[in-house]
Amino acid sequence: MRTLSGLPRRSFLTGAVAAVGGISLPGLGRSEEPAAKTPETLAQLLHAGLSPQQRKAVCFPWEYVHPKFGLLRTRVANNWNASAPTVAGDFFTKDQQRLVRDIFEHLIEPEWHARFDKQLEDDAGGFGHDQSIALIGTPGSGQFQFLLTGRHMTLRCDGDSAEHVAFGGPIFYGHDAGGSTEEPNHPGNVFWPQALAANGIYTMLDGRQRKLALVDSLPRENAIAFRGREAGAGIPVSELSPDQRAEMEKVLSLLLEPYRTTDRDEARQCLTKQGGLEACRLAFYRTGDLGDDGIWDNWRLEGPSFVWHYRGAPHVHVWVNIADTPAIPTNA
């Protein structure tokens, strides 16, 4: 597996986070190192160590409106770069590259690091290649976000700077494990088990329920704006039986599983505020059924201000947008 600019891949516990005490970034002494090592404090450390030239390229005001992408701190897309320099290029120092990697590793649960690395290797040639970052706002001001972008990835952390939203705003993940159009069973796709789990719900539905759940018209994959109480097609989760609802809860846990505990908790808090899973609908789409095998590649879980849109054909794209109110605008 190709590694970031020739650096050996470091584990969750032995990476740059553990080594922060042993590095010295420009303009940042030991006394200024953060006490608690979270993605947010590591992003502050990264911000503090940037040179003036670097800041011009990757630092932006909190309300910065990009000429192409709009409000940068709310943007999500399947393949984009928030700034020009790539993480693995020669723009950042080795220590800065390690910090970016450690921010990523603190956002993603350790058990998922290898799976995300496989996705990044398949889609972008490895972590940091064709990926860029943006540091938006000012550390310590209550308005600060770290944004990591590239093909099949939009990740962010904000330490609750952005009110009402989970994950700091909408996120994206995906994987092309088979030459753009994957085989029906998606061999090697690290996120396909999520679709299989959701399809397990469909197999539990009776005839009437399947008529509600199976939908002909597939929405645009980036149509993830909140629609409030009028949201969505598909079967209301409230119409599922207790055993089906229990299985739906397992699917939700599987979807949230890759992310750090605080993000999982915040997503659940947002969902609870809008009525929980019972306020959502689950839809499976006939369109894009690879192999015509009745294992639905495209599906969507949607509530008043909750969208988890899974597009599995021709390969996996997943759009996630969660807030505690549908009044939050979407920039996709």
Give 131-160 pLDDT, tens digit per residue. Answer: 999 999 999 899 999 999 999 999 999 988
207 and 112, same structural domain? no
- What local confidence, expressed as pLDDT, does residue 163 receive? 87
| Residue 161 located in a structural domain | no
Statement to judge: residues 142 and 203 lie in one domain: no
User: What pLDDT score was predicted for residue 231?
Assistant: 66
Q: What is the pLDDT of residue 23?
A: 38
Q: Has residue 151 been placed in a domain?
A: yes
Q: Are residues 203 and 318 in the same domain?
A: yes
Answer yes or no: is pLDDT of 11 > 60: no
The whole-angstrom separation of Cα 305 and Cα 197 is 23
Average pLDDT, the chain: 91
| Whether the predicted pLDDT of 19 surpasses 70 | no
What are 185-204's pLDDT values in tens digits?
999 999 999 999 999 999 99
Same domain, 148 and 210: no
Last residue of some domain: 102, 134, 156? 156
CB atoms within 10 A of CB 55: 12
Domain-terminating residue out of 99, 132, 156? 156
Asked if the model's pLDDT at residue 65 lies above 60, the reply is: yes
Q: What is the pLDDT of residues 165-186, one digit of tens each?
A: 999 999 999 999 988 899 999 9
Which of these three, 112, 130, 156, is where a domain ends?
Answer: 156
Give the model confidence (pLDDT) of 232-274 as tens digits. Answer: 799 999 999 999 999 999 999 999 999 999 999 999 999 999 9
Going by C-alpha positions, the residue among 143, 108, 87, 145 that lies closest to residue 17 is 108
Q: Is the pLDDT reported for residue 2 higher than 70?
A: no
Instruction: Say if residue 217 is in the same domain as residue 309.
Output: yes
Same domain (yes/no): 152, 199: no
Length of the chain: 332
Q: What percentage of the chain has pLDDT greater than the value 90? A: 85
152 plus 214 within the same structural domain: no
Average pLDDT of the segment spanning 49-66: 98
Residue 180, classified by CB atoms within 10 Å of its CB into exposed (0-12), middle (13-18) or buried (19+), is: exposed
Within a domain: residue 302? yes
How many structural domains compose the chain? 2
Q: Which residue has the higher pLDDT, 2 or 226?
A: 226
Within-domain flag for 170: no
- 143 and 261 both lie in a single domain: no
CA diameter of the chain = 66
Structural domain of 274: 192-322
- What local confidence, expressed as pLDDT, does residue 237 receive? 98
Distance between CA atoms of residues 47 and 43, nearest Å: 6
Summarize the confidence of residues 4-11 as an average pLDDT.
Answer: 41
310 in a structural domain: yes
Rounded-to-integer distance, Cα 264 and Cα 259, Å: 6
Contacts of 126 (CB under 8 A, 6+ apart): 1, 2, 3, 4, 88, 117, 120
Would 33 be classed as within a structural domain? yes
The pLDDT of residue 36: 75
198-221 average pLDDT score: 97
110 has pLDDT over 90: yes
Which one, of 115, 100, 28, 22, lies nearest residue 58 by Cα? 100
- Does residue 29 sit in the same domain as residue 96? yes
Q: What is the pLDDT of residue 162?
A: 86
Question: Does 32 map to a domain?
Answer: yes
pLDDT at residue 35, rounded to an integer: 57
Ramachandran assignment for 191, one of left (phi > 0), alpha (psi -120 to 50 degrees), beta (any other): alpha
CA dihedral 174, 315, 277, 245 (to 10 degrees): -130
CA distance 88 to 65: 26
